[in-house]
């Protein structure tokens, strides 16, 4: 255990020593000079006890790490370390370059050194060690000369006085002379200790204890925080791009469903590049160009936010809550929080919530008119909110097109974390921000200082900030605030005056370093309060902060929050009747979080988790917050339990992506839990959630690995039934990927496991799975189905029996034996007539409808499919409704009712997009494309078929890639692009060969071949697909 905390402390000390580089390198002392400088001595107390308990190597590692960290702190404040004497350090301020604030920097450094040692000691105290420091400071004339060893140093009485004051100081305090007090004045608080006799001097020395930042320093910080926000400048090109995007008519104006297309503008830029400021200006542009547009804006939080937090804050905004043309959001807000106001608690699926949000926006668009969505920092958008935003933009056919403005990280870095909507449903404009020109950086400075023009800026200030900021407007602002807080710039009656060269501000070379530097200057109480807030997140109840802060030694949490709010770092508002703290600046929160030593950070996380767990109720989304804090505290065992709970919560509300994330975290954290029943149970539950989550999203990435792990664990635990069930799913996945041989092998393993388990129903299900693979012939598949039917009959599973007959009928239909299929399909329907299985009855009606359509009985087919739709609507089986609508569209095509076909296929398309069924969405698009191909509308046919092919490729569905690729080849052939059509033929043919997919699954490819031959392509250039009968 000791090695662990020492390793962690060593890592923290290395980080503290590796501070941002300063504006200029430390210069060397020059011999023979006499000048006034500030001398600082620091001695570490507690090393004697350390040396008695730790081995020499460990002691050396800690002492060296501490001294390197403290040296880095000295250099960051503009000093140089002159020498080390064991656990003692001597530092000089003003020895290489004299400035007006040498003494001020030395005192500020002394306070920060004491604070740093207190934080380091707080880690060591947990392991029985104590470390503190005492500091002595003096200021006055010294001589630069070599000491007896030849080392160039400073000599004189002032040095001796500083050394003696350090020896007289109590551990954890800093003493200074009256000269230091005079130089610094009210920048610091002083405790007058009176005249003190010190060794080696005849006369007493007037001594002061440095108590902390003073009135003047606090005033500087507050003055800097109250500077006006800079005006937007230098973004005229970006504004012009957006204005053109807004004004240009969309082509095409409609989406594949026939609804209006929307507009999505994505703003990208590095931290501090001005994304948020440009976003505000673009909102103003929309207001001006679209008078009366309604604006919907929600907050986005970097971490610790609950699901749907963007939408919750959006619907709670004044424009919505006060009813300015918007429907009452209270019912939807209750739904987002997992409850219904008048009917107690009720769980909703993620699908339900996305549809409810879409419906609310649709209704709002009918009453409030055109709508503008605004979202800043989209890289932090929680997954549930992101899904709902994408869903709404892709599925809301509002009377007028909507506009969405979303700002986030550059598109090259995190495209996946920003809203993504296919261009068929929303036109997309991307604006990536480049560094600002020098003149615009100067304009920002002038606006912040309330100058009329850049000409009023001093040349030194202009040159320094422009060079340092590198075109980053936020960095320019931080530099200016830093200069004011350090007293390099002061406000006078005639404006702002540089009291000394700006280089003396000792400003780091990076934006993050500049932000950390300003946080370092906060009083200790406020800095610690900000660090606690940063651990809690970007939105948290004030009472959670109060309880956590009190546990960590903060005496007045309410004042902490009030003071941080007065500095503009935090804000407070009432959310759902609870006083809530909101962070205003991501960079400041990140800097505060990073400034905590690792082991102190874990302590804050631990306290936050304990406070949340001890609260009266764990609200929706808070299980994940508890898990995050526990993992941050290093308690991975307990974090894994809460992660499974968070995954369950997300899974129950159909937030599949969130559920998979927490379940994956749980599996990672569970590795340290002792082997036993609890660990096994949690692993199985997490794996089940991952499996169900992937099934819900139709996305296969990572699913295979999770299934294999679950199979292995089930076998270890001698759970053959579970192993067989998962093998069935893995077999289906392999078949979906076109790997028929692997699918068949896995299915055989599953059957063996079912036999060991004695699970008749599982055996029947696996026989059904094997039959669906049509491993060798249709005849064998039918025999497998009949065996499965017998097993289901033994268990009384009439629903499964009906499905088996349905499948047999499907096989016979595919082989052209329509007469042989009809008895089986009628039996399938009879089995479930009058039962509690309306969904299964609907499936039988769909198959009979398909049969009627193929037999030329179109009216009967349409009647059966519409009856199936009615059953599916009554049971809420949206996915099945979409499939039935697809088949109904085919019937309308067969009857020549292309308008009717387009209507129902567009309905199917909407359902498939709503339910996230990408395969079926692709089929709807493919069918629409085929209609346009028949109509001769080749452009629209190409658009739809390209989209269906994109979807099939995204989910790696080989059958769809074959059919859509072949139909797209027909479009190219009819358009006269024979070479393109032949190339598509070759691509699709290679898929059929690679995936071992034989005729008739490749029938569309044969149709393309026949068309190309009619167009004059030699038969040798288009070989027959595998298994295809010769012409």
- Secondary structure (H, E, C), 99-159: CCCHHHHHHHHHHHHHHHHHHHHHHHHHHCCCCEEEEEEEEEEEEEEECCCCCEEEECHHH
Give residue 743's pLDDT.
Answer: 87
Q: What is the DSSP string of 735-776?
A: HHTT-HHHHHHHHHHHHHHHHHHT-HHHHHHHHHHHHHTT-S
Residue 426 and residue 444 in one domain: no
Q: Once rounded to an integer, what is the mean pLDDT over residues 325-335?
A: 86
Residue 156 and residue 263 in one domain: no
Q: Once rounded to an integer, what is the mean pLDDT over residues 458-473?
A: 90
> Are 475 and 514 contacting, i.e. CB atoms less than 8 angstroms apart?
yes
Q: How far is CA 977 from the centre of its chain?
A: 44
Helix (H, G, I), strand (E, B) or coil at 948: helix
Give residue 19's pLDDT.
Answer: 57
In the listed set 432, 452, 484, which residue is the last one of a domain according to the structure? 432
Question: CB pairs under 8 A, 24+ apart, for 778-781?
Answer: 778/811, 778/812, 778/814, 778/815, 781/811
pLDDT class of 574 with cuts at 50, 70, 90: confident
- Residue 468 scores a pLDDT above 60: yes
CATH of the domain at 91: 3.30.70.1230
Rounded to the nearest 10 degrees, the angle between the axes of helix 56-76 and helix 2-17 is 30
Measuring CA to CA, which residue among 167, 188, 162, 189 is closest to residue 177?
162
Beta-carbon count within 10 A of 31 CB: 11
- Residue 511 scores a pLDDT above 70: yes
Query: 611-625, 941-955, 998-1012 — which one is most confidently predicted on average?
Result: 941-955
Give residue 86's pLDDT.
Answer: 81
pLDDT class of 64 with cuts at 50, 70, 90: confident
Q: What is the DSSP string of 563-599?
A: HHHHTTSEEEEEETTEEEEEES-HHHHHHHHHTS-HH
Distance CA 927, CA 945 (A): 9
- Residue 344 scores a pLDDT above 50: no
Give residue 340's pLDDT.
Answer: 41
Give residue 505's pLDDT.
Answer: 66
Distance CA 714, CA 681 (A): 11
Residue 39 and residue 182 in one domain: yes
pLDDT class of 13 with cuts at 50, 70, 90: low
Question: CB pairs under 8 A, 24+ apart, for 665-668?
Answer: 665/627, 665/631, 665/639, 665/640, 666/640, 667/709
Give residue 697's pLDDT.
Answer: 56
- DSSP one-letter code for 910: H
Give residue 954's pLDDT.
Answer: 83
Q: Once rounded to an integer, what is the mean pLDDT over residues 132-148?
A: 86
- Residue 416 scores a pLDDT above 70: no
Residue 172 and residue 258 in one domain: no
Beta-carbon count within 10 A of 198 CB: 18
Distance CA 1027, CA 1019 (A): 17
Give residue 347's pLDDT.
Answer: 56
Helix (H, G, I), strand (E, B) or coil at 88: strand
Q: How far is CA 250 from CA 322, 499, 558, 561, 837, in A?
A: 33, 57, 53, 49, 47
Distance CA 41, CA 198 (A): 15
Give residue 750's pLDDT.
Answer: 92
Distance CA 135, CA 164 (A): 10
Residue 458 and residue 402 in one domain: no
CATH of the domain at 304: 3.40.50.300
In the listed set 469, 495, 517, which residue is the last one of a domain according to the structure? 517
Cβ-proximal residues to 429 (8 Å cutoff; 6+ apart), any chain: 241, 242, 245, 263, 264, 265, 266
Structural domain including 462 reads 438-517
Distance CA 296, CA 776 (A): 58
> Are 163 and 136 contacting, i.e. CB atoms less than 8 angstroms apart?
yes
Share of the chain above pLDDT 70, in %: 90
- DSSP one-letter code for 553: T
Give residue 318's pLDDT.
Answer: 80
- Residue 1 scores a pLDDT above 50: no
Distance CA 13, CA 676 (A): 38
Q: Once rounded to an integer, what is the mean pLDDT over residues 660-678?
A: 88
- Does residue 62 lie in a domain region? yes
Q: Once rounded to an integer, what is the mean pLDDT over residues 611-616?
A: 81
Residue 428 and residue 286 in one domain: yes
Q: How far is CA 155 from the centre of its chain?
A: 57
Distance CA 802, CA 951 (A): 32
Residue 152 and residue 173 in one domain: yes
pLDDT class of 834 with cuts at 50, 70, 90: confident
Q: How far is CA 535 from the centre of its chain?
A: 17
- Does residue 369 lie in a domain region? yes
Q: How far is CA 317 from CA 169, 378, 384, in A?
A: 55, 18, 19
- Residue 971 scores a pLDDT above 90: yes
Q: Provide the domain count of the chain.
A: 3
- Residue 343 scores a pLDDT above 50: no
CA–CA–CA angle 546, 548, 554 (5° rounding): 70
Residue 331 and residue 470 in one domain: no
Distance CA 323, CA 329 (A): 9
Residue 189 and residue 52 in one domain: yes
Q: Once rounded to an integer, what is the mean pLDDT over residues 902-917?
A: 85
Per DSSP (E only), the strands in 519-562 are 539-541
Beta-carbon count within 10 A of 36 CB: 15
- Residue 107 scores a pLDDT above 50: yes
Residue 70 and residue 193 in one domain: yes
What's this model's pTM, rounded to 2 decimal places?
Answer: 0.70
Give residue 655's pLDDT.
Answer: 75
pLDDT tens sequence across 926-940: 999 999 998 899 998
> Are 935 and 898 contacting, i.e. CB atoms less than 8 angstroms apart?
yes
Residue 246 and residue 178 in one domain: no
pLDDT tens sequence across 151-179: 678 888 899 999 999 999 999 999 999 99
- Does residue 109 lie in a domain region? yes
Q: Is 798 exposed, middle or buried (0-12, 13-18, 19+ CB in 10 A)?
A: middle
Strand (E) or helix (H) holding 282? helix 275-289
Residue 292 and residue 385 in one domain: yes
- DSSP one-letter code for 520: H
- Does residue 794 lie in a domain region? no
Share of the chain above pLDDT 90, in %: 35
Q: Which of 19-33, 773-787, 857-871, 932-946 has the lowest mean pLDDT?
A: 19-33
pLDDT class of 1011 with cuts at 50, 70, 90: very high
Q: Once rounded to an integer, what is the mean pLDDT over residues 636-650?
A: 90
- Residue 493 scores a pLDDT above 80: no
Distance CA 184, CA 182 (A): 6
Give residue 261's pLDDT.
Answer: 92
Beta-carbon count within 10 A of 238 CB: 20
- When comparing pLDDT for 745 and 914, which is higher? 745
What is the pLDDT of the chain when averaged over all its residues? 85
Give residue 757's pLDDT.
Answer: 92
Q: Once rounded to an integer, what is the mean pLDDT over residues 975-986?
A: 94
- Does residue 459 lie in a domain region? yes
- Partner residues linked to 213 by β-bridges: 188
- Does residue 33 lie in a domain region? yes
**The dihedral formed by the CA atoms of 753, 759, 765 and 767, expressed in degrees to the nearest 10:** 60
Helix (H, G, I), strand (E, B) or coil at 16: helix
The residue length of the chain stands at: 1031
- Does residue 897 lie in a domain region? no
In the listed set 492, 517, 542, which residue is the last one of a domain according to the structure? 517
């Amino acid at each position: 255990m000791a090695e662990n905390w020492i390793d962690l402390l060593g890592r923290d000390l290395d980080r503290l020593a590796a501070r941002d580089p300063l504006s200029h390198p430390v210069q060397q002392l020059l011999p023979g000079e006499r000048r006034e400088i500030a001398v600082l001595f620091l001695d570490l107390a507690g090393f004697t006890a350390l040396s008695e308990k730790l081995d020499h190597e460990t002691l050396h590692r800690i002492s060296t790490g501490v001294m390197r960290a403290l040296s880095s702190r000295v250099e960051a404040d503009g000093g140089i370390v002159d020498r080390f004497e064991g656990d003692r350090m001597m530092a000089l301020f003003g020895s290489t370059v004299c400035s007006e604030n040498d003494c001020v920097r030395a005192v500020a450094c002394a306070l920060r050194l004491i604070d740093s040692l207190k934080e380091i000691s707080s880690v060591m105290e947990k392991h029985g060690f104590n470390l503190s420091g005492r500091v002595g400071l003096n200021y006055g004339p010294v001589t630069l000369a070599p000491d007896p060893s030849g080392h160039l140093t400073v000599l004189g009485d002032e040095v001796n006085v500083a050394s003696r004051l350090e020896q007289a100081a109590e551990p954890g305090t800093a003493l200074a002379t009256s000269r230091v007090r005079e130089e610094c004045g009210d920048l610091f608080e002083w405790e007058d200790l009176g005249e003190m006799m010190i060794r080696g001097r005849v006369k007493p020395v007037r001594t002061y204890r440095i108590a902390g930042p003073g009135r003047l320093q606090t005033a500087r910080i507050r003055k800097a925080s109250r500077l006006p926000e800079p005006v937007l400048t230098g973004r005229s090109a970006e504004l012009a791009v957006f204005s053109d995007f807004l004004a240009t008519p969309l082509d095409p104006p409609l989406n594949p469903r026939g609804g209006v297309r929307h507009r999505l503008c994505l703003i990208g830029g590095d931290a501090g590049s001005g994304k948020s400021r440009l976003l505000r200006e673009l909102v103003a542009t929309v207001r001006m160009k679209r008078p009366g547009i309604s604006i919907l804006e929600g907050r986005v939080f970097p971490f610790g936010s609950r699901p749907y937090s963007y939408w919750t804050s959006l619907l709670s905004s004044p424009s919505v809550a006060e009813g300015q043309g918007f429907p009452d959001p209270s019912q939807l807000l209750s739904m987002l929080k997992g409850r219904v106001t008048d009917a107690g608690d009720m769980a909703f699926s993620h699908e339900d919530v996305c549809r409810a949000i879409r419906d609310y926006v649709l209704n709002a668009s009918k009453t409030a008119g055109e709508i503008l969505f605004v979202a800043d920092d989209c890289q932090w958008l929680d997954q549930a909110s992101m899904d709902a935003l994408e869903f709404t933009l892709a599925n809301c056919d509002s009377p007028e097109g909507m506009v969405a403005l979303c700002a986030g990280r550059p598109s090259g870095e995190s495209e996946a974390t920003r809203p993504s909507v296919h261009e068929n449903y929303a036109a997309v404009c991307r604006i990536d921000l480049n560094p600002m020109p020098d003149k615009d950086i100067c304009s920002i400075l002038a606006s912040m200082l309330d100058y009329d023009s850049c000409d009023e800026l001093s040349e030194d200030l202009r040159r320094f900030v422009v060079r340092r900021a590198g075109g980053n407007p936020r960095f320019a602002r931080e530099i200016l605030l830093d200069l004011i807080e350090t007293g390099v710039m002061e406000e006078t009656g005639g404006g702002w005056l540089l009291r000394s060269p700006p280089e003396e501000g000792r400003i780091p070379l990076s934006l993050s370093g500049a932000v950390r530097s300003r946080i370092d200057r906060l009083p200790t109480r406020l800095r610690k309060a900000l660090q606690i807030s940063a651990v809690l997140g970007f939105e948290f109840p004030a009472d959670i902060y109060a309880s956590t802060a009190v546990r960590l030694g903060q005496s007045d949490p309410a004042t902490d929050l009030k003071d941080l709010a007065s500095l503009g770092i935090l804000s407070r508002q009432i959310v759902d009747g609870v006083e809530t703290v909101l962070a205003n600046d991501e960079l400041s929160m990140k800097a505060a979080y990073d400034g905590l030593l690792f082991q102190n950070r874990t302590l804050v996380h631990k306290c936050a988790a304990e406070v949340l767990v001890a609260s009266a109720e764990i609200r929706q989304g808070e299980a994940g917050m508890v898990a995050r804090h526990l993992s941050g505290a290093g308690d991975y065992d307990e974090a894994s339990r809460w992660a499974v709970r968070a995954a369950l919560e997300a899974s129950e509300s159909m937030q599949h992506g969130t559920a998979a994330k927490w379940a994956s975290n749980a599996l990672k954290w569970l590795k340290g839990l002792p082997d036993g029943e609890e660990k096994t149970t949690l692993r199985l539950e997490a794996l089940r959630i991952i499996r169900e989550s992937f099934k819900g999203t139709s996305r296969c990435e990572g699913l295979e690995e999770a299934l294999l792990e679950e199979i292995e664990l089930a076998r270890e635990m001698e759970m053959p039934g579970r192993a067989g069930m998962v093998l069935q799913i893995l077999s289906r996945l392999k078949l979906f990927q076109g790997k028929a041989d692997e699918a068949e092998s896995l299915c055989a393993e599953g059957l063996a496991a079912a036999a060991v388990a004695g699970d008749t129903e599982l055996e029947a299900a696996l026989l059904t799975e094997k039959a669906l693979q049509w491993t060798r012939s249709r005849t064998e598949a039918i025999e497998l189905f009949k065996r499965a039917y017998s097993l289901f009959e033994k268990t009384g599973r009439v629903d499964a029996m009906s499905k088996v007959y349905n499948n047999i009928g499907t096989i016979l239909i595919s082989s052209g034996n329509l007469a042989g299929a009809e008895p089986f399909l009628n039996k399938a329907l009879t089995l479930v007539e009058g039962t509690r299985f309306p969904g299964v009855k609907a499936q039988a009606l769909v198959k009979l409808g398909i049969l009627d359509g193929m037999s030329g009985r179109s009216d009967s087919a349409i009647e059966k499919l519409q009856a199936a739709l009615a059953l599916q609507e009554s049971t809420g089986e949206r996915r099945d409704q979409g499939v039935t609508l697809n088949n109904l569209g085919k019937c309308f095509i067969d009857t020549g009712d292309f308008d009717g076909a387009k209507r129902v296929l567009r309905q199917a398309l909407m359902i498939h997009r709503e339910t996230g069924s990408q395969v079926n969405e692709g089929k709807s698009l493919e069918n629409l494309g085929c209609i346009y191909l028949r109509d001769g509308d080749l452009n629209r046919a190409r658009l739809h078929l390209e989209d269906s092919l994109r979807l099939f490729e995204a989910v790696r569905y080989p059958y769809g890639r074959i059919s859509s690729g072949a139909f797209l080849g027909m479009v190219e052939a009819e358009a006269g692009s024979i070479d393109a059509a032949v190339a598509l033929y070759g691509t699709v043919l290679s898929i059929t060969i690679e995936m071992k997919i034989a005729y008739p699954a490749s029938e569309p490819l044969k149709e393309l071949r026949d068309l190309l031959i009619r167009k004059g392509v030699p038969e040798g250039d288009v070989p027959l697909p595998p298994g295809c009968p010769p012409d």
